[in-house]
Amino acid sequence: MSDFYKKIIEGNKKWVETKINQDPQYFEKLSHGQSPPLLWIGCSDSRVPANEVIGAQPGEVFVHRNIANMVVHSDMNMLSVLDYAVNVLKVQHVIVCGHYGCGGVKAAMGNDSIGLIDNWIRHIKDGYRHHKTYLDSIIDEKERFDAFVELNVKEQVLDLAKTSIVQGAWRSGQDLNLHGWVYGLNSGIVKDLQVNLSSNKDLDTVYQLQF
């Protein structure tokens, strides 16, 4: 067994001991059920652990992560998580959290083929094409990269709002707020992009569903 593998088994034991020392009923209480107020849709990047960066405890955040925090409307995994979070858990907030320096977004700005993942990255490229005039006008590559990371998050928030799941919840008067954040790998600080959606009136009319 590798040292790392041994370390994580030990890490789990220590974590359990710490939790039980603080509260002997800790796991017993958690086992009764969950009602997290937040769904987090983030990047798979190992440097952006959902709970940890917002100081949240087990039971407080329902999590979905994929490469470049995408909301792809044909992704059954994302739709199932969203449906469960909104319609069963009744979360009040959904945060799409991207991060500066995202490898998926970077790959989408370039032309190198990196295998099967090209097909996933293509969704991000669609966002670039949508904002091509603005993004191409940014000369500095780092600035353009940062701007694209932010725009990608905003697009995913809009894509959440376009789903029948989110619009259905709004239609029935559910308190459901969508937000877009970008996390700074080199600072630990999140930036709220102020794309706070709580009604389908914020969408282009062509996406507004009538129920």
The footprint of Co ion (CB under 5 A) covers 43, 45, 102
C-beta of 48 vs 166, nearer to Co ion: 48
Q: Which of 97, 102, 123, 159 is catalytic?
A: 102
Q: Report the nearest approach of Co ion to the CB of residue 10 (Å).
A: 29
Q: Report the nearest approach of Co ion to the CB of residue 75 (Å).
A: 16
Which residues neighbour 107 within 8 Å (Cβ) at sequence distance 6 or greater?
114, 117, 121, 124
45 belongs to the catalytic site: yes
Q: Report the nearest approach of Co ion to the CB of residue 193 (Å).
A: 16
C-beta of 102 vs 169, nearer to Co ion: 102
C-beta of 45 vs 159, nearer to Co ion: 45
Give per-residue burial for 97-113: e unless 16+ CB within 10 Å, then b. Answer: bbbbbbbbbebbeeeee
Burial of 131 per CB tally in 10 Å (0-12, 13-18, 19+): middle
| C-alpha gyration radius of the chain | 19
129 belongs to the catalytic site: no
Q: Are 206 and 123 in contact (CB under 8 A)?
A: no
Q: Report the nearest approach of Co ion to the CB of residue 45 (Å).
A: 4
Q: Which of 99, 123, 159, 179 is catalytic?
A: 99
Chain centroid offset of residue 106 CA: 17
Looking up tokens 């998926």, which residue turns up? 104
Paired sense of beta strands 190-192 and 177-183, if any: antiparallel
C-beta of 51 vs 92, nearer to Co ion: 51
Q: Which of 47, 73, 122, 130 is catalytic?
A: 47
99 belongs to the catalytic site: yes
| Residues labelled as active-site residues | 43, 45, 47, 99, 102
